[in-house]
Amino acid sequence: MGSLWNKLRRGGSVLVVLAGASLGPFHASVSRAAYPERPIRYVLPSAPGGGPDVAARVVMAQLSRQLGKQIVVDNRPGGSGTIGTEAIAKASPDGYTIGHGNINTMGINRSVLSRLPYDPDRDFQPVVHMYGTPNLLAVTLSLPVRSVQELIDYARKNPDALLFASTGNGTSQHVGMELFKLMTNTEMVHVPFKAATVALADLTAGRLHLMADNINSIGPHVKAARLRGLAVTSAKRVAAFSELPTVAEAGVPGFDVSAWAGVIVPARVPREIVARLNVEINKALAAPAVSEKLPELGLVVVGGTPEQFEAHIRKEVARWADVVRRAGVKVD
């Protein structure tokens, strides 16, 4: 150490060069430590007013309070979620555009779409798994079924007579019902819509027969007795609808379908920023404004590390690829 110091004393110019070289990382560290210094954009690949929009705004409002910076929710629906997700992938990797990654955009789409404008594995970094979203299976009031078993019996006696809605080809609502058909040996006709609000309008009007949609979307219609709830699709009952059995309890052992969502960022966002976002979003999920509100919407708060979210995504990709293959689901 002493000899190095003596050499530096004799070669002042070397000392200047070394000091200058060390200031680059130092300044970068200081800059990133100050993140965020301006408003953040949260890209949501779904329409305003739907379940994902409501939940995202609850979490982002709390995160905004914690960071002291505005977070603008930017709705980019369309293309089975690919339009908004592509916008996340192509955003500047500076941490000021973050986004919503879900079961469709990060999991199912790669199995049902012939081409994606982004690479789910290469173009993103997972930040945190925010919540799980059990679906609620409900039928129009005019359909003479009051349980999952009665629905199965009716479908078997009337193949292809029942119309089930979803928010689009290849969505979790769609492939979840395809799994239901496979496990119950039933045949029903899929009717895709661009938005849950439109599908639910037709369902409550009796133009469709059933739908398994996110609880925070379809739940209010069941609570208001505009639709008849039969069961929840998750492995466990949901507090917001504790009176409803799971589909597994109601006659389809092993059935378990839950949508999910979390925060993702462009692939080259610095790890320090990813770590900061992870800490702050976990803190937001634990705050009463979020931890009490999301369950009221029928959501299950998750949280955790980026690595845990990445492992969950990988597991879901494999699972739904198998269902899509068996059901022969394809989206042009």
Q: What is the CATH number of domain 134-241?
A: 3.40.190.10
197's tokens: 């609000």
Q: Is 70 helix (H, G, I), strand (E, B) or coil?
A: coil
Is it the case that residue 239 has pLDDT exceeding 50? yes
Q: What is the pLDDT of residue 37?
A: 96
Average pLDDT across the chain, whole number = 89
How big is the CA angle at 140 (ends 134 and 183), to the nearest 5 degrees?
Answer: 50
CATH fit for domain 40-133+259-327, picks 3.40.50.2000, 3.40.1360.10, 3.40.190.150, 3.40.50.300: 3.40.190.150
Q: Tell me: the pLDDT tens digits for 108-134?
A: 999 998 889 999 999 999 999 999 988
Mean pLDDT of 139-151: 98
pLDDT at 33: 58
Q: What confidence score (pLDDT) does residue 240 get?
A: 84
Q: Please write the tens of the pLDDT for every residue from 28-86.
A: 444 455 899 999 999 999 888 878 899 999 999 999 999 999 999 999 988 888 999 99
Predicted structure pTM score: 0.80
The reply to whether 40-133+259-327 and 134-241 are identical in fold is yes
**pLDDT for 312 beyond 80:** yes
Q: What is the pLDDT of residue 2?
A: 42
Q: What is the DSSP letter of 105?
A: I
Q: Does residue 137 have a pLDDT over 90?
A: yes
Relative orientation angle of helices 215-223 and 51-67, to the nearest 10 degrees: 120
The structural domains of the chain, with segments of one domain joined by +, span 2-33, 40-133+259-327, 134-241
Span 258-286, average pLDDT: 97
Kindly state the tokens that stand for 320.
């739904």
Range from 2-6, 97-101, 255-259, 312-316 carrying the lowest mean pLDDT: 2-6
Look at the block and give the residue holding tokens 């080259």. 268
Q: Can you tell me the distance from the alpha carbon of 153 to that of 147, in angstroms, rounded to the nearest whole number?
A: 10
Q: Tell whether the model's pLDDT for residue 332 goes beyond 90.
A: no
The per-residue pLDDT for range 158-167, each reduced to its tens digit, is 999 999 999 8
Mean pLDDT in residue range 312-328: 94
